[in-house]
Amino acid sequence: CADWSTLMLQIFISLMLDDAGVETAEEATEPSEPDVNELCKDMFTKMAVYLQGELTATCEDYKLLENMNKLTSLKYLEMKDIAVNISRNLKDLNHEYASLQPYLDQINQIEERVAALEQAAYRLDAYSKRLEAKFKKLEKR
């Protein structure tokens, strides 16, 4: 503040005219000196309030981030539990599928035999139709 008031005094002196009605530099600084000090105090008070507000906002931001991190952590724990349950159920299903595998193999074998039997039936049907046609041909003679 003292440097600032000295600077103001120099500016005032440089602008001062040598008229008789104008106050001298020393007369002008004495009454304004308490005003400059008050202005400096006011500026520092307001700056302190501003900085306090900035620090409070930053602190609130960090609290918000902390809460968000806690909620995210809880969500990840829930997702982990869900994944563990899915994994357990998948193992159970794989175990059940493995226990059913012999029956599924039997079904596949039966299906193959039925398909082979069906082919044999088609061949037998075709053969019987040819025989019938030969019989009718011989019967007409």
Give pLDDT tens digits for 95-123. 999 999 999 999 999 999 999 999 999 99
Separation between Cα atoms, residue 41 and residue 84, nearest integer Å:
64
Please give the model's pTM, rounded to 2 decimal places. 0.47
Give the least confident one: 8-12, 76-80, 121-125, 135-139. 8-12
What sign does the dihedral 56-58-62-65 (CA atoms) show? positive
The one-letter amino acid at 41: K
Of the two residues 68 and 39, the one the predictor is more confident about is 68
Q: Is 23 helix (H, G, I), strand (E, B) or coil?
A: coil
Contact (CB, 8 A) for 1 and 36: yes
